[in-house]
Every structure is written in C-alpha cells, then in structure tokens.
Amino acid sequence: MTSQHDGPTSATRYVANQLLLGGESMELVDDGVVDVVDGAIVWSGPASDAPPVGPDVRNVDIPGLLMPALINAHCHTPMVLFRGAGEGLPVDRWLKEVMWPRESKLTPADVRAGMALGVVEMLSNGIGTSCEMYFHADAMAEAAIEANFRSVITAPFIEADSFAGLGPISQQLEAAVDFANRHAEHRLIGAGLGPHSAYALGPDTLASVGQLAADNDLLIHIHVAELPTENQMVAGLGSSVVKVLDELGLLTPKTVAAHGIWVDDEDIALLAERGVGICHCPVSNMGHAQGIAPLQRLQDAGINVCLATDGPASHYRLDLFEEMRTALRLHRLNNHDAAALGPADVLAMTTCGAASVLGRPDLGQLRAGFRSDMVHLDPDQLSFGPILSNGDIIPAIVWGGSRAAVRQVWVEGALSVDNGLPVDASITELRAEVQSRARTLAQP
C-alpha cells in the first residue's frame, strides 16, 4: 500500500504565524520559518532573516503555531488491549493478578494491533516519539513504521512462571540485542534493554542486563522505586533498590528510570551522580495510589526529569497534555506553592527534557541540526485564549491543549497527521480489531 508518509519531501519550507523553537528558553518567534531537508532542520528563525531558497523547495503555510512534537519517554503502548482491566488494584496485585496472566498470552499479532491503535492516539495528541517497554519488538516496530512514528523499543524481561513461554532470559537477551543491531541505522526505530524492575528479576539476571547494555552501548529502561514496599522486597531493611541497582551496574547515563517515587536523599544523590534520567508519570501514580515523586528534590539535585504517560492500562489515555496539567496541579498543591512548577517547565519536560533522558539530543527543538518532528497547533480552539501577548502562548498550550488543537504532525519530515486525523489509518478498523483481541485475551 502506498502511503502519504512513506518518506520526507527532500526540501520544504514551513512558514508559521508563530514558531516555538523550544529548548530550556522556550523561545517564541512571530512569523517564523523552518527549513527542512531530508528530515533534518537546516534553518529556523524569523522569516525576515530566512536565507533564500531555490524554486524546487516546497512551501507549507502554517496558519497557527508550529512547535516540537511531544515525546512520551515511558510507555507500554500495546496495553490499550487491557484498558480498564484491574481497575482499583494497587500495582503489585494489578501486575500479578491481571496484567501478567493476560500478557503471557500475547501474540505478535496482538501486540501489533495494540501498538497500531496506541500510536494513532499518540500522534493525534501531538506525540511524535515514545520509549516503549513491551513484548514482541518486531511487531511493535512494524506498527510504528507503518504510522510514521518514532519509537525506542526495549524488550521487557520478567522472571515469572507465566512468562516461561518466552524462553530463557538468556535467549530473550540475545533477541533484544539482535533487534537493536538490525535497527541501528533506522530513521524511526531505536532499541534498548527493558528489565522490568529489581522486584521482577533476580540479581544475577540484572547484572547480566547491565553488562550486556554496557557491551553493546544500549539504553536501559527500568521501573525504579515505584512501590512503597520495593526497598524491602529487593534489598531488605537498611538498603534501597537504587543502591542495589547501582551495585549491579544498571545506573548509568543511558538508564531511563520510570517513576522514582520512593527515594531518599542518598538515593537521589546517587541517581544524580550516575546521570540517570527519571520519567515522572503522575497520572498513573495517582491512579494506583503509588505516591508522589519528589520532583523538586530530584530536579534540585540536577537529575533530568521528564514526563510520561506510562501504559494506557494504568493511565488510560496516551495524552501528554493531561500529564502536563496534572503535574502542575499536583506539585503546586503538594508544595503549597502556586509557583512550584510552571507551564514552560512541564512543556520542556515533554520535549527537550524527554529527548535528553532518551539520549536523543537531536529531538525536542525546532533548530538547525535537529530532526523535523513537529506539531501544528490551531490556536482558534475554545480552550485557548484570549491570547493578548506572546507570554500567554505557552500557558495556553499547556492548560488548554488537547487533540482538538492538533491539526498536523510531522515525524522525520513526513506527514503523519493531517486535519487532525492520522494519515492512511482506519481508526474504526483498528478499534474493532483491538476490541476482538482484548476480549479473547481477557478469557481465563
């Protein structure tokens, strides 16, 4: 099937009413221009300063705001198959009683269907990249590529009887490295290792994962300190899961640690020293009553913290606009300080901050040398405005942003969403397939 997003147009100039370059400064430009060649941004800034281009360059007018695509740095997207399952259970029981028994029955076709529907949802919400921890990596990659979506895919490793059908962990590790090698130069797919957690794997296996990641220069994606009882489960009294993971070689600048809720000052100092990135998932954490991550203490220590949705079976929605608003409300209330966190802070945490956590300094900004993952937002939405000055724009994006405002999304310079709808995807067919497969997987 021929797709409108088979590849980027070689040279395109995007002319926007307003341009959000992004980065820590969240720089805004009126009447801005972004020049893209083969998926890379080669120039951006005010139209008045734009370099001349030849007649072969295509022009695209953006009657609104052009900004970096959002990045979902911790997710289990195919869990759309299990939305609502185990509602009201704490995480440990939810995993062991509901999730793992169903996930152990997953086929590659199940995962591909779930990933396809979840990717459509993320793209429609302005998300251009995800970091996944889920089974059947090739099926996930196929779905992402078909939708022109960027994804870092990390195979999960869990030592539980229900997952015996996946084969020995050693075999799973070999398969994960093979997947990474096969996609090393892919324009959309990255790879890493996804040890589920220190409570789901023994120390010998964790050490093997750490060594394999070091030998192959791979990202490690792992849940860390998400349960209030995790330290006792893993290390016993007097130690912590963070210290155990460090002793086993799993804390490095290429470690993506999800949650980081139950950490003390020594843990935080160690995470900062090792250069670990943290994915904060406030909606999921609140839904499971896991606790509140000490965001300000983590950031004050110099740790790069980004926002992520977690899986749609716990968050329910793959929506970083909701995540940003929730983070603002939660940490302002928790700190009794309306200035504890600002709209520009959380927008950075879902763009350049998330890119840094994933080791992708070429994502999350609309500047020369970055990849052209971009979102066109329509400011004429009921939840936007009135916008009286440029200072109102970022608060409007964060407080008022939703899929209704997302008009177009480009990933690697190719169009993935047009007029608010995914290019070439039949949402009706995808939903029907997921519904059917979810019903089968729910059967005992």
Query: Nearest CA to 138 among 90, 205, 186?
Result: 186
Share of the chain above pLDDT 70, in %: 98
Please write the tens of the pLDDT for every residue from 144-184: 999 999 999 999 999 988 898 899 999 999 999 999 999 99
- Mean pLDDT computed over 189-196: 98
Tokens of 132: 């996944």
- What is the b/e burial string over 44-75, where b = at least 16 CB atoms within 10 angstroms of the residue's CB? bbeeeebeeeeeeeeebebebbbbbbbbbbbb
Please write the tens of the pLDDT for every residue from 5-38: 444 557 999 999 999 999 989 999 999 999 999 9
Please write the tens of the pLDDT for every residue from 198-244: 999 999 999 999 999 999 999 999 999 999 999 999 877 678 999 99
Report the predicted TM-score, pTM, of the whole model to 2 decimal places: 0.96
User: Residue 42 CA to chain centroid, in angstroms?
Assistant: 25
Q: How far apart are CA 319 and CA 404, in angstroms?
A: 12
Task: Give the relative orientation of helices 169-182 and 203-216 as an angle to the nearest 10 degrees.
Answer: 20
- Mean pLDDT computed over 127-143: 98
Please write the tens of the pLDDT for every residue from 36-94: 999 999 999 999 999 999 999 999 999 999 999 999 999 999 999 999 899 989 888 99
Q: How far apart are CA 422 and CA 8, in angstroms?
A: 16
Q: How far apart are CA 149 and CA 122, in angstroms?
A: 9
Q: How far apart are CA 31 and CA 198, in angstroms?
A: 50
Alpha-carbon Rg of the chain, whole angstroms?
21
Tokens of 202: 């023994």
- Mean pLDDT computed over 419-429: 91
Q: How far apart are CA 279 and CA 257, in angstroms?
A: 6
The answer to whether the peptide bond before residue 422 is cis (omega within 30 degrees of 0) is no
**Structural domains in the chain?**
11-69+363-422 (2.30.40.10), 70-357 (3.20.20.140)
Q: How far apart are CA 130 and CA 127, in angstroms?
A: 8
